[in-house]
Structure 1
């Protein structure tokens, strides 16, 4: 059953965003929208099916741990839900790492202050690179996490390039 989703101005509904996300969204002019969802369908494919959203207009934010020597650098990657990030090719080389992998769930949630399945590029720790796939950037409106499993954000794709530390690249094979 497809349910209707109601997008509202995110700044008018701070309860729909995790604490670190609220401050990051506040700097934008109101173009960020938010919607409450069933947290049981926070995963992208289930969300799109339940709410009749286009999978190609949704993006996943994955947290990477890039290692070189004894150091670990964390980065967020925004990839369209219909694509896979080239973690051990493009991303590993771009981050100058010997090895890159998805950060463990407890590390990703602990460092971001966000819920697993709701991690978003808004409000990430200072200094983290935010690598945005060109496909996501070029999407007029893209659905991303809100930091919570119980809501989503809808933003203009090009707006993601305005986040601190953001860089637009081709991140897929």
Structure 2
């Protein structure tokens, strides 16, 4: 599990505007969505995207969502523990397969920002 990273889709809202983002954390950790993620995105309310929304917005299968290939305007927030983990297993877009990748490469995704996302 320590060599696996989960990608979850969050939906933030502020003044009628919606913001989707991907949050990538180690499978053994938890992201501070209501604190760090909400503040970084500058939204008033934030929650995990509903399954139908996550699947429809990404074009990927639930349980296999990956930060690779998301809409270009979506922020990809990568926990610093993921970047430091070395090789990690992430979703591939479908449930039936996974991708093994050097986690440092995830920090180089075009919309990626590395943050301390850990829930303290």
Tell me the TM-score normalized by structure 2. 0.97
Query: If each structure's helix is expressed as a fraction of its own residues, which one has the higher value?
Result: 1
RMSD: 0.6
- Which whole-Å deviations, capped at 9, do the CAs of 1:103-161 have from their partners, x for residues lacking one? 00111111111000000000001110000000001111010000000000000010001
Query: If each structure's strand is expressed as a fraction of its own residues, which one has the higher value?
Result: 2
Partner of 1:134: 80
Partner of 2:55: 109
Partner of 1:25: none
Partner of 2:95: 149
Q: Could you tell me which runs of 5 or more consecutive residues in structure 2 were left unpaired when the two chains were aligned.
A: none
Structure 1 segment 35-114 matched on structure 2, within 5 A: 55-114=1-60
Is the radius of gyration larger for structure 1 or structure 2?
A: 1
Tell me the TM-score normalized by structure 1. 0.68
Q: Could you tell me which runs of 5 or more consecutive residues in structure 1 were left unpaired when the two chains were aligned.
A: 1-54
Q: Which 4+ residue blocks in structure 1 deviate beyond 3 angstroms?
A: none
Q: How many residues align?
A: 119
